[in-house]
Chains A and B, each alone.
Chain A
């Protein structure tokens, strides 16, 4: 496929009818540059290509945006149109392929809706095909057009030729999905899918003939055939489970990637989120401490009430002590003793105490004082109790004071933690950011799931390998039995022949895919070395395409280096891979396919850019660059001119009304423009 010209009418930023011509085929002057600042319509050109060829209304960088939200019809034209007036828009692409000329036109109508929104409706597609003799046929049936376009550039491989910088970089990420995408692309581009379909067809025929054979052959052979049938069913089930595991892995990897992207937004506040978690944990701990202290304090609550009357206790005790000192209480000499002294008129020391004497009267008075024994006993008991209470009051007071102190400290901690948490939350800002921890958790779960899935994949691979070995043994046994009976049995002969064809195709497939993987690795290494800067060359050694089509790069010491590769190097590696793929597909000729690159140098350093400009135009028939003013400078223009690769230059110029004009420029004018832009910077 060689692109000749693109014409746009009221498409994206391009109001009215505008267009430009692409440069080249063959190895010289085959670079076309679309040059413009951000928002001028470089990606609009890319969209126009995909819209025209495949009817795509969204491109990969739109993410999950629904196609109804992407306005393809020029907004200014719609705004300028009278109410309820339809604005017609179309993209026309002229290209050649295998000596035929194609003119593909795809249209879209747009108008302003009742709520100011833009309503867009496809208006059809038309493909004119002219052969070398000038015979022309026209296709207007969308399915027929689609078939024809896919014949020229299959949708399955278009991503290898029409892509943006990010897409290039993603190509070498070793995710399951990426691996599948690469495998799909390689199979399409190198015709492996036709080979695989042929193998499947032969498997079907083999099975059919085996079934016929089971009913007509000897019992030994019938048993082997039956076992083989069961084994094959088992293998289909294992393969299907492997597919499921791969799909789940791809899904989990996508999810993890999404979580990683979301987490990336939290990066700046991650330390705050962690700090908040620490503070939340501390707060919880302090609240538990406070609760435990309160629980403990409850056990003292009944006793601690006495602290309220401690002064009263002390005063009462003092009163009793004075009484005691005065001998009023306790009645230390019991009433019975006094009565005996009075009755016997003799003291316990033997001295006589006669009635009427002073001693007798004193004892008589004492007897009267101690006669209210009930009160005195109670007073004595109260004195004892008060004494005990007073001695406990000290410990109780100290304990309660200690509890209160500890509780107060914990409460202070709680208050300051709450304040700190509030401050952190204010810094973190919007509530959605609280999802960071949830995302971390989700990421952990996804990582675990991926480990499980990968382990399951390895187990299933092993089971499938074992089954293949068993099948090989059974096939050998079957072949020998078949040979025994084949002399007499036509069905056996047919089954044997079908099996030989199946085995041959399978063997060719295995050899062929191993061969092309090796070749792609070899060619990719060769170009990668040419593209790398000196520093990269010192470290990186070779690119290898693994059995599962994942790409690996090894350092000069033979260790895997992919995880450590820089973004720029990754981009170069992907480009090397695509170039290698194209070279294998074209059997070392120049593949007639344009390489359409949006934002090609975004991640590349000067030396890498120079190498790319030097090498890329040599391996593809056309190189179309959509570059910004920071990506494409006089330096790059000079390099292209020097290599005789400079083809055409289309300046996407901003107009006053916000639209873009495509202005074709000569080398000299382009150089002048680039110099002006550089001086402005």
Chain B
């Protein structure tokens, strides 16, 4: 059934790298059965890191 994810993966590639990475993370955590809150918290941590590194680059 994981083959179904190939379709989703194909669609993710159309988005900017940071967006697809975060979406992929949310998806993977959901597939592993993590709760909504846990997924939101982990993605938030990743978002924070990404934004900080983007700001530093500027």
Asked if A504 and B15 sit within 8 Å, CB to CB, the answer is yes
A562 at the interface (CB under 8 A from B): no
User: Which residue on B lies nearest to A205, using beta carbons?
Assistant: B40
A190 partner residues in chain B, CB cutoff 8 A: 1, 4
* Residue of A198, A204, A493 contacting most chain B CB atoms (<10 Å): A198
Asked if B5 and A497 sit within 8 Å, CB to CB, the answer is no
Binary per-residue interface labels of chain B (15-33) against chain A in the complex, 1 for a CB within 8 Å, 0 otherwise: 1101110110011011100
Give the CA-CA distance A204 to B52 in the complex, in Å: 21
Q: Kindly identify which residue among A209, A494, A504 contacts B23, using a CB–CB cutoff of 8 Å.
A: A504
Asked if B37 and A204 sit within 8 Å, CB to CB, the answer is yes
A295 to chain B, nearest CB (A): 76
A191 partner residues in chain B, CB cutoff 8 A: 1-2, 4-5, 8, 31
Task: Give the dominant DSSP class at A's interface.
Answer: helix
B50 partner residues in chain A, CB cutoff 8 A: 497
Instruction: Tally A-B pairs: CB < 8 A.
Output: 106
Q: Kindly identify which residue among B12, B23, B27, B36 contacts A200, using a CB–CB cutoff of 8 Å.
A: B36
A584 at the interface (CB under 8 A from B): yes
Asked if B30 and A195 sit within 8 Å, CB to CB, the answer is yes
Give the CA-CA distance A584 to B7 in the complex, in Å: 11
Give the CA-CA distance A209 to B48 in the complex, in Å: 11
* Residue of B23, B27, B31, B54 contacting most chain A CB atoms (<10 Å): B23
Asked if A493 and B39 sit within 8 Å, CB to CB, the answer is no
A515 at the interface (CB under 8 A from B): yes
Interface residues on B, range: 35 or more
Give the CA-CA distance A586 to B5 in the complex, in Å: 11
Q: Given A189-B1, A191-B31, decide whether A198 and B37 contact each other with a Cβ distance below 8 A.
A: no
A318 at the interface (CB under 8 A from B): no
User: Which residue on A lies nearest to B26, using beta carbons?
Assistant: A198
Q: Kindly identify which residue among A201, A493, A497, A587 contacts B26, using a CB–CB cutoff of 8 Å.
A: A201
Give the CA-CA distance A190 to B2 in the complex, in Å: 9
Q: Given A585-B4, A587-B4, decide whether A497 and B22 contact each other with a Cβ distance below 8 A.
A: yes
* Residue of B5, B8, B16 contacting most chain A CB atoms (<10 Å): B8
Interface residues of B in 28-56 (CB under 8 A from A): 29-31, 36-37, 39-40, 43-44, 47-48, 50-52, 54-55
Give the CA-CA distance A515 to B36 in the complex, in Å: 26
Asked if A497 and B51 sit within 8 Å, CB to CB, the answer is yes
A511 partner residues in chain B, CB cutoff 8 A: 11
A14 to chain B, nearest CB (A): 34
A498 partner residues in chain B, CB cutoff 8 A: 22, 43-44, 47
Binary per-residue interface labels of chain A (193-211) against chain B in the complex, 1 for a CB within 8 Å, 0 otherwise: 0110110111011001100
Asked if B43 and A201 sit within 8 Å, CB to CB, the answer is yes
A508 at the interface (CB under 8 A from B): yes
B3 at the interface (CB under 8 A from A): yes
A185 to chain B, nearest CB (A): 13
User: Which residue on B lies nearest to A503, using beta carbons?
Assistant: B19
* Residue of B16, B36, B37 contacting most chain A CB atoms (<10 Å): B36
Asked if B37 and A505 sit within 8 Å, CB to CB, the answer is no
B24 to chain A, nearest CB (A): 9
Give the CA-CA distance A507 to B47 in the complex, in Å: 20
B43 partner residues in chain A, CB cutoff 8 A: 201-202, 205, 498, 501
Q: List 16 A-B contacts (CB under 8 A).
A: A189-B1, A191-B1, A191-B8, A195-B27, A198-B39, A204-B40, A490-B51, A494-B48, A501-B19, A504-B15, A507-B11, A508-B11, A508-B12, A512-B7, A515-B7, A587-B6
Which A residues are closer than 8 A to B by beta carbons? 189-191, 194-195, 197-198, 200-202, 204-205, 208-209, 490, 493-494, 497-498, 500-501, 504-505, 507-508, 511-512, 515-516, 584-587, 589
Which B residues are closer than 8 A to A by beta carbons? 1-8, 11-12, 15-16, 18-20, 22-23, 26-27, 29-31, 36-37, 39-40, 43-44, 47-48, 50-52, 54-55
